Every structure is written in structure tokens, then in C-alpha cells.
């Protein structure tokens, strides 16, 4: 793989990467840092963020800080009391806005804060969410968000001066007229049954999907060039994306930013399930951050720990968002996320205890000076009375958010203030479990699974199982399957069955493959009955490849990328009958819109399929050679046996022939 | 070419072939047998070597050290098994969960076509429990399997204990690149069949099972573990699978390499390796080992739980711990280290095991005979059939006519018509009738068991086996009945055509069989070829009839039972042998319906009718 990875393209675009040095704190460090800090000091207004994704729509309330940090118990109780008040505030004041893709809730404080001073043209936020998982593992999710109020496509004005936004990506946006770009690199498979839903799901390997501006004429050409450029920027084999693994989904991948262009001609989607993600992909990813890995949360991103985990996923999302409430002009948002799950068994040495230092072998000492907000959240929802684990240092700040249809409570550490660092000037969050028993497997509301059935190398069957574990609600899902051309799908064998009864999809979009040109694309909208398993099966035949088309390791098998299940899942908050305990009655009769359903994308596992492979070794050559020899031998033998032999007159000499010609001219019979 | 194109030389060649036919056939037979026996002679065989790069040079340091704890877990398992009177599903699920695995269960049920008296089961109902160790940062595309059968009685508890111990140890390691499935299957092969069918969502044998909830991609290799004692003296490797399929030789090499490294006595077919190949007893030992392998492979039944994996192109072997009360003792820790080493090397695999041989015979663990070496032995036997068909054809002027000038003008179609016109019916009738007998032999025993039980004082199993033997014997009366069906007397030409058909039929049959399962093809060739070569209506009938019955497929099976017992160093008396023979027949029929073993249909539908054709020739009037 390394040989591919360091492809020629990489060399070509190394220049581009080197070129993209931005205003990092190296050059005018003191100046910028001081300025930012002072900005933050007198700017208490939170950032207005209308079009953020659902998953991190955080409604945050600052509880009053207790003056005496020696009594964490009383502090927690006090803060508990205080949420209720703020929660009412949130529920009644929440002004639900946003589009259907990502319904959002506004920050609660935004309503009662003074009109904010004009925000800077670009700003950077960083946050880390730590979620102790039910299995005892721990999930850490980093989010870095750079927003820039600029327009890359303004007529006659070229964007040349970059501050926080990485220049390499800005240039890519301008050059290829991108509307949205989503790229993710994932090593490992997210175990929904053990870990629940991730904040941002991604399939194993590399995934890239791009919406181009509708001004682009040659989308395929731009896509080809773009993949090569990104291959250089992210040091990955994205240059292996070509027409045989690119599709244009009609429904599954809608734009996440502003604008309502939904013409799939400008969408390209590709997955490389075989891509292996490692440090060489992490380093260029870190370089895109304004502080690099020098300060702020990014100091925790040490590859030797990140790749010593059960799951690693990093992604870059670029999209246009609204600049203000009226949405008169758009800003560009670059969101870099990195999710990692640490394994309790292998790194915990059977002591269920977590700390930042144990996870990342670093502690936090400061926020990124360029960041307007820098926060660490720890999910303490299941630990409201401290029965599951102890969290030190305790923090008085709590926050509630509806994440993935579930109301979660978080402890918040604001790194822009000096409190969390304490006297040691470093923050090392410690999480000590009180129980040692591993929990049972979860039953996530939506869950997908896929496998190849059958044996032998001629035919097979792809089974996709979609679980709806909701006890009483049916909901529709969009299933996208992208199958390479060398598995020839028999689309007439497509069956969709739930509870052993046929379940007719209400929408099917099928694009047949063309050998060596494009893959199969199958999209369908299926209604999942409550508490059911829906099985989608389709048979296929394995194609015989040309001998040059086999990979160098043909006996490893060929990958088929994950299928994608996108759905609006009914929220568990609405399912929760005990909500009256925590919330006043008048606030909880009608489920709020954003709580009634949430958007989830689930990826199934990729498949490894064996194709009929010739034995590329000596016996194979021997067989070929022998067959040739036998064919030649048999041919001549057969010839000899079937042909009748006759004694042929010796051909007349030249003189005789000449004489005959003369005789024929004379009209005399020949000799 | 010149030899064949020249009519005179061609005639000379055919004359030579027909004149020397009998001596040539004898020479071929002797040479074939001698070649086969020579395969076990060490200088003629190759030393095994690791072909797979990914498993070869990499170093693995085994650190498993929890053998005692594993045995304790085995004892706990035994206690719970006794309490539950079968598979302690709940306990096992908890035990696997506490070791950090994702645990799933699968229940299955199967009604056998007739009661299995050896294992005393008829309506089988059970549950498989398996736990998946998810490899960190792996996308669930590849998996390895470690299985241990949950056998009735007190056997194999240690294997389950060791499996749990290994699961716990493996869970703490970071180097896994493939998911590892730890499977405890109930009712040994039936449970394994249910699990494999569930995993691959196929249904070849009509078993009912609940679908699996968790999977781990395509399985690359599997090991089945069978341990029944706390202390073992040697480990036996079992390779023979369903229908004579064998796993890739690299799996055997891997086992041997680790046995050498860790210093464990390892055997194959229960026989230790000896170094004195140049002595008669050393050679004898190697021949015995090889013959055992040939007999086991020819039987076409899975000789361990691994045997069913091979159908799905999963390389698998069984490791069986044996306590033969030698001085040399190995504890569970050592076995655990051996398995750890093997799994770590399999984990290193980048491709499926494909580098080494799939067709081989093992006279010892360190020596192997590849397909290129053993095939000539069979070819020599098959050559006899071709030579004989040549002379039959010669006698019929089929082939040689081509060379004679008189026949040169005629086209082939006319010749065939002219020759076979006296006997189309006389040839076709025996062919059809003997095949119908074969069909009866295949279908009737199982179908008619109820009738048989009603009318005779026998159990179902006995009924099936005895019906089979009865139909088999009834087939011997066929020649007389065939002639009654025929209108006129059989002609000289008639039996020659029939013989030509039978001999060519046998040649094709044996050739195909030997390609799939060399051992079966060779054993059948060894007994059927002499019959096919020398049977005519003009030989002394009684003596020949006796010899033919002796060399018929059924008697070959009986003979094999005795030879197998002799080689196992457990000789049996005639009566015991006969009982064993009966149980072998019932097992064969069961294997066919339970796992899809092909030996029974092959013998009853193809080989037996073919032999009946030859029997017909003997009694040609």
C-alpha cells in the first residue's frame, strides 16, 4: 500500500501543501494571541450558529459558579437544581429554526444577551466531547470549526489573504468550484451494538462526497482532478477513485449547508473500503488546524495513542452556512472532526479508570490562543448521582443538549478560563468507574448489518439486514448500495422482506453497472415496521477478471464498500414516559420538533468477496503450457487420422510445363 | 506422428498392443501398486516447508500462561454441563461476556432420517454459543475461528476451558488484525453444520436453525480443539474433511512448526514420526500412516469438526489432545501457547492460505507426497482400462478399421451402426437395469424403513442397513433376469460391446473420482480394474464369480474396515468386523443426509451399477 500511497500525485501536490502556510501563531504569536484573548474577555456573547449539524446542537447553559470548590457534592446538587430553571427557559424560549436536514436549536442565552459587537470575519472553535460508553470503553470526539465570512466565488475578486482558514483547502474550493466537500478516513468499524450511535458516522476506509457548484460544466473531469489533489493533501490513495467506484446518489446524500440545489448531476460519491488510515493521514489533517498540534486541544492528538485504539475516524467537512439570522450572505465552515474509541481491556489493564493522560499521554495546559471558544465536555447523563463513576476535577458548569434524539447532560470545562487548570496549571480529567461489570449489548433504534451468503466461487447473495428496534414506531430509511461491476447483480432476485413478509420499497433507483466503467447503484426507500428486521437480498454472479485486473494479492479478496442507511429516527426522548419527572408538565405534552425525530446515517460493514482467481504460480503456467502442447499435438494427430492420403503425381518439370503451354496455344492436347 | 500416419506402422503398433495386451496390463497393475507403496519411502517424498511468506519468517513469542485457570474454567463448565444436562448456554454466555466478547447464540434442530445408534440420537435439538473478539481498528471483513465441541458425557471439557482461557488472553492483546470467533458447538458435527449454514445463510441439508445475529466477515481459517484430559502426552492433527477435501498443507506445516518450536509431541493418524526410514519397520510405519490417511480420505466423511469448514473454502484442521500415558507430558499452558502461536501467525495472513498444496498425502508430518507424485500410481491403473478398451474395440474392429484400407472409405457412422446393430438392445437393457438397481439401492433403504420395522423384528437402523445389503445382494441375480427380458440370445459381439461400454464407463468414473478424491479413486481402481480387465463369459464361472463378489464395492468396504482396524492396531474378530461394517454403512447413509457426503450416492448410483455391468458380462449367454 505504501507504494501507492506515496504516489506521484503526492509529490506534485506536496508543493501545494507547503504553500499553504497560514498565519500560524509562529510568526505573530504574541500579538494574535493577546488580541484574541482580550476579544474573548469582553465578548461574552456566544456564537450564533444556525446551521450546525443536529448531532452537536448544544444548548448550553452556564450554571452559577460556586465559590468554594472544596465541596463538589453540594455543588453538583446546586447545579442540578439550577438546570431545571434553565431548562424551562430553554423549552419555552427555544426558537426552533433551521431546515429539515439539520433542525437546530438556538442558544438559549442568545435571546437575553445584549446585542453582540460585530464578530470577527473568521473564527475558530474547538471542543472535545468525552463519552464513557456502556461497554466500559471511552469515546473521545474532537471538533474543530473554522468559520470564515467570505465568498470564494465573488466576481473579479480573488481570495488571497488567509488567516485561520487553511489556504490549501481554500484554493481547492476556488479551483474546483465546490459547494460542499465531505471526506472521512476511518480505521475500524463503529460497533453500534456496543457503543450506540457516534456523533458523526463514517464507513471503514475513505469516503468522499462532493457537491459541485452548478456552474461547473465538466463535473467528471473536475472530480477526477479533485480526487488527485485531495490525494496529495491528505496523503491518501484517493487517486484510486475513478468512474468504477463513483456514483451519483439520487436521495441519500443531500447538501448539509445552505442552498437548495438538489440536482444529483453535481454530486459525486465514492468510497475506498480498502484504504488504511494511519499517521501519514493524521499529520496533514492536523496541519489544517490554525494552531497545528502546538496548542489547544490538538496537543492531545498524538498518533502513538490515537492508533492504539479500537476505532479511529477523522474527517473534514466544508460547507456554506449562513452568516447571520437573515441569511443574506453565506460564510464557509470548515469542520474537522476526529473520533476515537479507547478499549478498556487492552489499554486499561483491567482497571477501569480513564484520564486524559492515560488516553492521550498528554494533559491540557491551555486553549488554542486563536480559538474563540475551547471546551471539554464529559457526558455524565447516566451518572447524575455519581453512581457509575467519579469525575475529577469536578466542574460546576453543566450543559444539556439533545444529541441523537436523546437528552444528554455534560460537564463542561471551559479552557479559555483559568479555573479548570487549577493550581497545577494542567487539566487532567480523571474518570474512575465504580462498577466493574460489563454491560449487556445495546439495542440501538437503527442498526444495519451486511454479509455475503453462499459458498463457491460462482454465485452468491448479498444480505443487508436493517434492524428497527423502536417498540411502536415505523419509520422509513433510505438504503444505498454501491456494488462494484465485477459482482454482477441479478436485480430480478432483489427481495425486501420484513417479518417474513414482502415489504415493497416505495422508491427504487437502480443504475446498472457497465463492465469496467461504473458500479451498480441501488437506492431504495423502505418503511421499517416497528420492532422488526428488514432483510434486503440480492443475488450476484462473480465475474472473471482479465488477468491484469487482479490486484497484486488476488487471494485476499475484493472489497465491496459499506452500504449506507440514512434515516430520520424517532427520538427516544419522545418515547420516554418518565420525562414528567424532570420537566414541567406544560413543556412536555407535545414533543418538540427536534426531539421527535433525528437524522442518523448508519454504515454497514464492508464485504470481502473472493472472485475466481487463477493460480498465479508455477502449476498454473505448467497447465497453460501443457494445454497448449496438447492442443497442438491433438490438432495434428486429429488431422492425420481424419485426412485421407493419396499418392500424388510428381509435378511436371519446368520444360514440360512450358511445352504444354505452347501446345495449348497451338491447340494440340498437352503431353 | 509418423508412427500414426503410416498405415503399416500403425497396424504394427496395434498388433503389438493387442498381442502384448495382457502382459502390459499386468505390468501396469504391478507398477501402479508398487508406485503407490513407494510413495511412503522417504527418499521419494518431499520435506514439508512453509510456503506462505506471511507465516514463515515472522517471529512470534508465545506468552499465554493461564493454563491452570483455563482448566479450572473447564471444570466449572463440566459442572454446569452436568447440571444443565447438556450445553450450559446461560453460563457460557456469561463466561464469554465477562471475557469481553460479543456473545451470540444459535439454536437448531434436526430430525435424522433414522436413529443413529452409535451416538444414540434421533431428534437433535441444541444451541451453539459463540463469542466474537473484535479486532481493534479492523472493519469486520476477516475472521478466524477457534471451536470446541460440547460433547456429551465428560469429554472435551478441557477444550472449552482452554478456549475460554485463550479468549480472555487474546482479548487483552492489541495485535489482532482479524476478528476471532470462539465457538462452542453442541452435538459436534450437527451443531457445526448448523452454525456454518447459518453463517453463510445456505441450507444444503434441510436443517432448521435460527439466523445468526453477529458475523465477522469472511472466515480465513479455523481450528477445532478437542481435549479430554488435563495432561496430554501428544497432539494429533486431523486433516481429512468432507468428501476427502483437505486443508491447505500450510496449516499442517504451521502446526508442525509450532510443535517443533514448543517441544510438543505431535502425531498424525495417531502415529509418531520415526527417523529410521531405511529400516523395514520404519518404512512399514510410514506406509501404515499413509494408508490410514488414504482410508480416512476415501471414506469421505469429516473426521473432526473442521471437516465441514472445507466446503466453504475455509482452511481448517482439528487438534486433538491424546493421553497415551507416556512419560512425556504436556500441560494446558503449553497447548495454549501452541494455539496462541498458530493464531498469531494466521492473524498475519494477508491473503487466504493458497500458496501450498491442497492435494497431498502425508506419510509423516514432516514429509508429504504431492499430487504430481501420487497421480502416476492411479494413472497406471487407469491405463489398464484404456488398454483393455483398445483390445475390445480391436476385437470389434472399431479402431483398427481406421487403419485398414478397406475401411478407410467408410465413414465412422456406418461403422458404429454396423457393429452395434446386433446389440443395441442387449447393451442398453443391462445398462438401464443395473442403474435402476442403483437407484433402488440409493432410495429404498431410507424410504422403506418403516415397512421393514413393521414386518421384521429389527430397529430402524438395522432395517436401513439390512435393506441396503438385501438390495445389493439382489442385484447379483440380475443377469438371469436381464436375459429373460431380452428377446434372443446374447451374441459374441453383444458382450464385447457391453464390455467396451463398461470399461470406458469405469475409466471415466474412476478418473473423475480420483481427481476429486484420490484415495477413493485409487482404492476403487485397485479392486475394480482387475475385474474389468479380465472378465469375459468364457472364464471359469464359479471361481470368477467368487472373485468378483470379493472385489465388489461392498466387499471392498468390508475389507477396508478390517484393514483400518488392523492399521489402528485394534484388530477385530470377524463378527465384530461385520458389526462394524453394518455401522459404517449406516454412518455413510447418515453422513450423506446430514452433511452432504457424496460417497453413498457415488457408490450406489454409479460404481455399483458399473460393477453390475461387469457381472452381467460374466453371466452372458
In 3D space, the residue among A146, A84, A51, A102 whose CA is nearest the CA of residue A404 turns out to be A102
How many Cα atoms are found within 13 Å in the side-chain-facing hemisphere of B152? 10
In the predicted model, is pLDDT for residue A511 greater than 50?
yes
**How confident is the model at residue A346, as a pLDDT?**
63
pLDDT at B178: 94
**Phi, psi dihedrals of residue A165, rounded to the nearest 5°:** -70, 130
| Position A490 pLDDT exceeds 50 | yes
CA angle B189–B64–B224, rounded 5-degree value: 10
**How much is the pLDDT for A75?**
39
pLDDT, mean over chain A: 77
pLDDT (tens digit per residue) in A411-464: 899 888 888 888 788 888 888 877 666 667 778 889 999 999 998 889 999 999
pLDDT, position B355 = 86
Partner-chain residue, chosen from B4, B141, B408, that has the shortest CB–CB distance to A606 = B141
pLDDT digit string (tens) for A323-376?
888 888 888 999 999 999 998 666 555 567 888 888 888 888 888 899 999 999
Relative orientation angle of helices A167-176 and A219-234, to the nearest 10 degrees? 170
B424: CB partners within 8 A, 6+ apart: none
C-alpha Rg value of chain B to the nearest Å = 28
CB contact under 8 A, A606 and B102: no
Any idea what DSSP says for residue A257?
A: S
**Cell numbers at residue B389, please?**
478398451
Taking the CA atoms of A44, A46, A48 and A49 in sequence, report the sign of the dihedral they define. Answer: positive
Q: What is the pLDDT of residue B595?
A: 92
* C-alpha distance from A187 to closest chain B C-alpha (Å): 5
Which of B52, B96, B130, B140 is best to mutate for the A interface (most A CBs within 10 A)? B140
A608, A617, A644: residue with CB nearest B217 = A608
| Cβ A183 vs Cβ A208: under 8 Å | yes
Give pLDDT tens digits for A632-666.
887 887 777 777 777 777 777 888 888 888 888 88
The partner residue sitting opposite B173, judged by closest CB among A191, A346, A645, is A346
pLDDT of amino acid B378: 93
- A92 has pLDDT over 50: no
Q: Is the pLDDT score of A87 beyond 50? A: no
What does the pLDDT look like over B160-217, one tens digit per residue? 999 999 999 998 888 899 999 999 998 889 999 999 999 999 988 888 999 998 899 9
Q: Rounded to 5 degrees, what are φ and ψ at A334? A: -115, 120
Query: What's the pLDDT score for residue A30?
Result: 38
A18 vs A12, A318, A493, B40, B149, CA distance in Å?
11, 21, 52, 67, 60
User: What are B219-257's pLDDT values in tens digits?
Assistant: 999 999 998 888 888 999 999 999 999 999 999 999 999
- Classify the C-alpha dihedral B481-B485-B490-B496 as positive or negative: negative
Residue from A312, A338, A334 nearest A321 by CA: A334
A534 to chain B: which residues are within 8 Å by CB?
none
pLDDT at A115 over 60: no
Eight-state DSSP code of residue B604: I
**B483 vs A167, which has greater pLDDT?**
A167
Band the pLDDT of A631: cuts 50, 70, 90: confident
What cell numbers appear for B60 in the block?
A: 512470534
Model confidence at B518: pLDDT above 70: yes
Dist. CA B271–CA B264, nearest whole Å? 14
Q: What is the ipTM of this complex?
A: 0.87
Whether the pTM exceeds 0.80: the reply is: yes
Q: B369 pairs with which residues across the strands?
A: B361
For chain B, say whether A304 makes contact (Cβ under 8 Å).
no
Chain B: closest CA distance from residue A144 (Å): 23
Give the closest-approach CA distance of B97 to chain A in angstroms.
Answer: 8
Predicted confidence at residue B318, as pLDDT, reads 95
Q: Are B137 and A311 in contact (CB under 8 A)?
A: yes
- Per-residue pLDDT, A99: 37
What residues in B contact A640, CB-CB < 8 Å?
1, 4-5
* Sign (positive or negative) of CA dihedral B527, B528, B531, B537: positive
State the pLDDT confidence band at A602, using cuts at 50, 70 and 90: very high
| B603 pLDDT higher than 90 | yes
Distance CA(B87)–CA(A247), nearest Å, equals: 49
Give strand pairing partners of A464: A450, A536
Contact B25, B388 (CB under 8 A): yes
DSSP-based helix, strand, coil % in chain B, nearest 5: 60, 15, 25
Best mutation target, A540, A557, A626, to test chain B (most B CBs within 10 A): A557
CA distance linking residue A79 with residue A397, whole number of Å: 8
Cβ of B200 within 8 Å of Cβ of A453? The answer is: yes
CA-based angle A68:A72:A76, to the nearest 5? 110
- The residues, ordered by sequence, that sit 6+ positions from B48 with a Cβ below 8 Å of its Cβ are B249, B252, B253, B256, B365, B366, B367, B368
Taking only the tens place, the pLDDT of each residue in B294-332 is 999 999 999 999 999 999 999 999 999 988 877 788 888
| pLDDT tens digits along A210-243 | 999 988 899 999 999 999 999 999 999 999 999 9
A156: left (phi over 0), alpha (psi -120 to 50) or beta: left
Residues on chain B touching A620 (C-beta within 8 angstroms): none
Q: In the predicted model, what is the mean pLDDT of residues A532-550?
A: 91
- Virtual torsion, Cα B401, B402, B403, B408, nearest 10 deg: 100
Out of B141, B214, B312, closest to residue A455 by CB: B312
What strand order describes the sheet that includes B315-322? B208-209, B102-116, B121-133, B179-186, B142-150, B218-226, B315-322, B234-238, B266-268
Angle at CA of residue B173, ends B168 and B178, nearest 5°: 95
Selecting from B1, B137, B138 the residue whose C-beta is nearest the C-beta of A309 gives: B137
CB A448 within 8 A of CB A196: no
The yes-or-no verdict on residue A43 having pLDDT over 90 is no
Model confidence pLDDT, tens digit, residues A576-590 = 555 445 555 665 555
Nearest-angstrom CA–CA distance, B125 and B107: 8
Select from A345, A454, A562 the residue whose CB has the most chain B CBs within 10 Å, as the one to mutate to test that interface.
A345
Q: Is A559 on the interface with B (CB under 8 A)?
A: yes
Whether A558 and A611 have beta carbons less than 8 Å apart is answered as yes
Q: A316 vs A335, A338, B474, CA distance in Å? A: 6, 9, 79
Please give the Cα distance from A573 to A569 (Å, whole number): 11
Chain B residue with Cα closest to A350? B172
Q: According to the 3-state scheme, what is the secondary structure of A116-150?
A: CCCCCCEEEEEEEEEEECCCCCEEEEEEEEEEECC
* pLDDT, average across residues B88-116: 90
Residue range A199-204: average pLDDT?
Answer: 92
Set of chain B residues whose Cβ sits within 8 Å of the Cβ of A553 = 350-351
Q: Which has the closest alpha carbon to B426: B505, B503, B479, B504?
A: B479
Helix (H) or strand (E) holding A226: helix A219-234
Per-residue pLDDT at A86? 34
Q: Are strands A607-609 and A558-560 parallel, antiparallel or unpaired?
A: antiparallel
Q: Is A543:A584 a contact under the CB 8 Å cutoff?
A: no
For residue A599, give the nearest of A34, A40, A100, A69 by alpha carbon. A100
Q: What is the mean pLDDT of chain B?
A: 86
Query: Out of A308, A461, A605, whose CB is closest to B174?
Result: A308
| pLDDT confidence tier of residue A18, bands split at 50, 70 and 90 | very low
Cell of A434: 465504580
In chain B, residues with a C-beta closer than 8 Å to the C-beta of A205 are: 139
Cβ neighbors of B9 (< 8 A, separation 6 or more) are B2, B3
Rounded distance between C-alpha atoms, residue A84 and residue B414, angstroms: 104
Q: How confident is the model at residue B486 (pLDDT cuts 50, 70, 90)?
A: low
> What pLDDT is attached to residue A655?
84
Whether omega for the bond prior to residue A393 falls within 30 degrees of 0, making it cis, is yes
Contacts of B277 (CB under 8 A, 6+ apart): B41, B42, B43, B283, B286
Q: Is the pLDDT of residue A62 over 50?
A: no
C-alpha distances in angstroms, A21 versus A168, A291, B497? 8, 12, 91
**CA–CA separation, A49 vs A57, rounded Å?**
9
Q: Residue A53 pLDDT > 60, yes or no?
A: no
Amino acid at each position: 500500500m505504501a507504494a501507492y500511497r506515496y504516489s506521484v500525485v503526492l509529490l506534485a501536490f506536496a508543493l501545494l501543501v507547503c504553500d499553504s502556510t497560514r498565519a500560524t501563531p509562529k510568526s505573530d504569536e504574541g500579538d494574535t494571541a493577546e488580541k484574541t484573548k482580550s476579544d474573548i474577555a469582553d465578548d461574552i456573547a456566544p456564537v450564533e450558529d444556525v446551521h450546525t449539524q443536529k448531532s452537536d446542537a448544544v444548548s448550553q447553559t452556564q450554571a452559577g459558579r460556586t465559590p468554594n470548590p472544596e465541596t463538589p457534592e453540594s455543588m453538583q446538587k446546586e447545579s442540578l437544581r439550577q438546570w431545571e430553571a434553565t431548562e424551562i427557559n430553554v423549552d419555552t424560549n427555544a426558537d426552533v429554526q433551521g431546515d429539515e436536514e439539520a433542525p437546530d436549536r438556538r442558544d438559549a442565552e442568545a435571546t437575553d444577551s445584549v446585542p453582540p459587537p460585530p464578530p470577527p470575519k473568521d473564527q475558530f472553535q474547538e471542543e472535545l466531547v468525552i463519552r464513557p460508553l456502556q461497554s466500559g470503553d471511552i469515546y473521545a470526539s474532537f471538533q474543530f470549526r473554522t468559520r470564515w465570512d467570505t465568498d470564494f466565488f465573488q466576481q473579479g475578486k480573488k481570495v488571497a489573504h488567509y488567516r485561520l482558514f487553511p489556504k490549501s483547502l481554500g484554493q481547492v474550493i476556488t479551483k474546483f468550484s465546490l459547494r460542499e466537500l465531505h471526506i472521512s478516513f476511518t480505521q475500524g468499524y463503529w460497533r453500534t451494538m456496543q457503543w450506540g450511535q457516534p456523533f458523526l458516522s463514517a464507513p471503514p476506509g475513505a469516503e468522499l462526497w462532493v457537491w459541485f457548484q452548478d456552474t461547473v460544466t465538466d463535473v467528471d473531469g473536475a472530480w477526477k482532478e479533485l480526487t488527485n489533489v485531495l490525494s496529495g493533501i491528505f496523503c491518501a490513495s484517493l487517486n484510486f477513485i475513478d468512474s468504477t467506484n463513483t456514483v451519483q446518489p439520487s436521495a441519500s446524500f443531500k447538501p448539509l449547508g445552505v442552498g437548495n440545489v438538489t440536482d444529483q448531476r453535481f454530486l459525486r460519491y465514492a468510497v475506498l473500503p480498502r484504504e488504511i488510515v494511519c499517521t501519514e493521514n493524521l499529520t496533514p489533517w492536523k496541519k489544517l488546524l490554525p494552531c497545528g498540534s502546538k496548542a489547544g486541544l490538538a496537543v492531545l492528538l498524538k498518533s502513538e495513542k490515537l492508533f492504539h485504539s479500537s476505532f479511529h475516524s477523522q474527517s473534514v467537512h466544508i460547507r456554506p452556512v449562513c452568516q447571520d439570522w437573515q441569511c443574506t450572505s453565506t460564510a464557509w465552515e470548515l469542520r474537522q472532526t476526529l473520533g476515537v474509541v479507547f478499549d478498556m481491556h487492552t489499554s486499561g489493564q483491567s482497571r477501569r479508570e480513564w484520564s486524559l493522560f492515560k488516553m492521550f499521554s498528554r494533559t491540557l495546559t491551555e486553549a488554542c490562543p486563536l480559538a474563540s471558544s475551547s471546551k471539554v465536555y464529559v457526558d455524565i447523563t447516566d451518572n447524575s448521582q455519581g453512581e457509575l463513576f467519579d469525575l475529577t476535577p469536578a466542574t460546576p458548569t453543566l450543559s444539556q443538549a439533545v444529541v441523537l434524539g436523546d437528552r444528554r447532560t455534560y460537564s463542561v470545562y471551559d479552557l479559555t478560563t483559568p479555573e479548570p487548570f487549577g493550581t497545577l496549571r494542567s487539566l487532567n480529567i480523571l474518570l474512575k468507574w465504580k462498577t466493574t461489570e460489563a454491560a449487556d449489548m445495546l439495542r440501538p433504534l437503527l442498526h444495519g448489518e451486511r454479509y455475503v451468503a453462499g459458498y463457491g466461487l460462482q454465485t452468491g447473495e448479498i444480505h443487508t439486514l436493517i434492524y428497527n428496534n423502536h417498540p411502536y414506531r415505523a419509520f422509513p430509511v433510505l438504503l444505498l448500495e454501491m456494488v462494484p461491476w465485477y459482482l454482477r447483480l441479478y436485480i430480478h432476485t432483489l427481495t425486501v422482506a420484513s417479518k417474513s413478509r414482502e415489504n415493497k420499497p416505495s422508491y427504487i433507483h437502480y443504475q446498472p453497472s457497465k463492465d469496467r466503467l461504473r458500479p451498480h447503484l441501488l437506492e431504495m426507500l423502505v418503511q421499517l415496521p416497528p420492532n422488526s428486521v428488514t432483510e434486503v437480498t440480492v443475488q450476484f454472479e462473480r465475474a472473471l477478471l482479465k488477468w491484469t485486473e487482479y490486484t497484486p494479492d488476488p487471494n485476499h479478496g475484493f472489497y465491496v464498500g459499506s452500504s449506507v442507511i440514512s434515516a430520520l429516527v424517532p427520538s427516544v426522548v419522545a418515547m420516554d414516559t418518565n420525562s414528567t419527572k424532570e420537566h414541567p408538565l406544560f413543556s412536555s405534552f407535545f414533543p418538540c420538533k427536534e426531539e421527535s425525530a433525528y437524522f442518523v446515517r448508519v454504515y454497514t460493514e464492508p464485504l470481502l468477496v473472493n472472485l475466481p482467481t487463477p493460480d498465479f504460480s508455477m502449476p498454473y503456467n505448467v497447465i497453460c503450457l501443457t494445454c497448449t502442447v496438447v492442443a497442438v499435438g491433438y490438432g495434428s494427430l486429429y488431422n492425420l487420422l481424419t485426412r485421407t492420403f493419396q499418392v500424388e503425381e510428381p509435378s511436371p518439370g519446368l520444360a514440360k510445363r512450358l511445352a504444354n503451354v505452347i501446345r495449348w496455344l497451338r491447340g494440340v492436347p498437352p503431353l | 506422428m509418423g508412427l500414426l500416419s503410416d498405415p503399416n506402422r500403425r497396424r504394427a503398433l496395434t498388433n503389438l498392443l493387442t498381442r502384448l495386451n495382457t502382459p502390459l496390463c499386468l505390468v501396469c497393475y504391478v507398477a501402479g501398486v508398487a508406485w503407490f507403496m513407494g510413495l511412503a519411502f522417504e527418499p521419494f517424498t518431499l520435506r514439508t516447508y512453509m510456503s506462505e511468506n506471511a507465516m514463515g519468517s515472522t517471529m512470534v513469542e508465545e506468552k499465554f500462561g493461564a493454563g491452570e485457570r483455563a482448566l479450572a474454567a473447564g471444570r466449572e463448565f463440566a459442572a454446569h454441563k452436568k447440571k444443565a444436562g447438556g450445553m450450559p448456554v446461560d453460563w457460557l454466555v456469561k463466561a464469554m461476556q465477562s471475557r469481553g466478547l460479543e456473545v451470540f447464540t444459535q439454536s437448531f434442530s434436526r430430525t435424522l432420517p433414522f436413529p443413529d445408534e452409535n451416538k444414540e440420537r434421533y431428534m437433535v435439538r441444541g444451541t451453539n454459543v459463540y463469542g466474537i473478539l473484535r479486532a481493534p481498528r479492523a472493519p469486520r471483513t476477516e475472521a478466524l475461528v477457534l471451536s470446541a465441541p460440547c460433547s456429551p458425557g465428560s469429554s472435551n471439557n478441557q477444550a472449552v476451558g482452554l478456549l475460554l482461557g485463550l479468549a480472555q488472553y487474546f482479548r487483552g492483546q492489541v495485535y489482532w488484525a482479524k476478528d476471532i470467533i470462539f465457538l462452542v458447538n453442541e452435538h459436534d458435527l450437527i451443531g457445526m453444520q448448523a452454525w456454518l449454514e447459518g453463517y453463510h445463510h445456505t441450507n444444503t441439508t434441510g436443517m432448521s436453525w435460527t439466523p445468526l445475529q453477529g458475523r465477522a466477515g469472511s472466515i480465513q481459517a479455523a481450528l477445532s480443539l478437542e481435549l479430554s484430559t488435563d495432561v496430554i502426552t501428544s497432539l494429533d492433527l486431523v486433516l481429512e474433511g468432507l468428501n476427502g477435501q483437505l486443508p491447505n498443507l500450510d496449516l499442517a506445516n504451521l502446526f508442525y512448526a509450532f510443535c517443533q518450536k514448543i517441544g510438543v509431541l505431535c502425531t498424525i493418524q495417531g502415529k509418531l514420526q520415526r527417523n529410521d526410514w531405511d529400516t523395514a519397520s520404519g518404512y512399514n510405519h510410514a506406509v501404515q500412516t499413509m494408508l490410514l490417511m488414504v482410508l480416512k480420505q476415501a471414506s469421505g466423511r469429516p473426521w473432526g469438526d473442521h471437516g465441514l469448514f472445507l466446503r466453504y473454502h475455509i482452511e481448517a484442521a482439528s487438534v486433538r489432545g491424546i493421553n497415551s500415558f507416556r512419560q512425556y507430558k504436556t500441560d494446558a499452558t503449553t497447548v495454549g501457547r501452541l494455539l496462541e502461536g498458530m493464531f498469531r501467525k494466521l492473524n498475519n495472513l494477508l491473503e487466504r492460505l493458497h500458496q501450498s498444496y491442497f492435494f497431498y498425502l502425508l506419510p509423516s508430518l514432516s514429509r508429504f507426497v504431492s499430487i504430481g507424485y501420487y497421480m502416476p500410481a492411479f494413472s497406471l491403473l487407469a491405463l489398464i482400462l484404456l488398454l483393455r478398451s483398445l483390445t475390445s474395440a480391436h476385437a470389434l474392429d472399431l479402431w483398427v478399421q481406421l487403419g485398414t484400407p478397406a475401411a478407410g472409405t467408410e465413414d465412422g457412422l456406418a461403422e458404429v451402426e454396423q457393429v452395434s446393430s446386433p446389440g443395441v438392445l442387449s447393451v442398453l437393457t443391462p445398462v438401464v437395469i443395473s442403474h435402476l438397481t442403483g437407484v433402488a439401492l440409493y432410495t429404498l433403504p431410507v424410504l422403506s424403513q418403516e415397512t421393514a420395522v413393521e414386518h421384521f423384528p429389527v430397529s430402524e437402523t438395522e432395517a436401513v442397513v439390512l435393506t441396503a445389503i438385501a438390495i445389493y445382494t439382489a442385484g447379483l441375480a440380475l443377469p438371469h433376469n436381464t436375459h429373460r427380458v431380452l428377446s434372443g440370445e446374447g451374441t459374441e459381439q453383444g458382450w464385447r460391446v457391453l464390455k467396451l461400454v463398461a470399461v470406458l464407463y469405469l475409466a471415466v468414473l474412476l478418473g473423475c473420482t480420483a481427481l476429486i478424491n484420490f484415495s477413493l479413486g485409487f482404492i476403487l481402481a485397485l479392486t475394480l480394474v482387475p475385474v474389468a480387465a479380465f472378465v469375459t463369459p468364457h472364464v471359469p464361472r464359479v471361481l470368477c464369480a467368487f472373485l468378483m463378489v470379493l472385489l465388489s464395492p461392498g466387499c471392498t468396504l468390508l475389507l477396508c474396515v478390517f484393514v483400518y482396524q488392523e492399521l489402528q492396531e485394534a484388530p477385530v474378530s470377524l463378527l465384530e468386523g461385520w458389526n462394524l461394517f453394518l455401522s459404517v454403512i449406516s454412518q455413510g447413509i447418515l453422513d450423506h443426509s446430514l452433511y452432504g457426503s457424496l460417497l453413498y450416492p457415488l457408490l450406489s448410483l454409479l460404481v455399483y451399477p458399473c460393477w453390475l455391468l461387469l457381472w452381467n458380462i460374466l453371466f452372458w449367454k
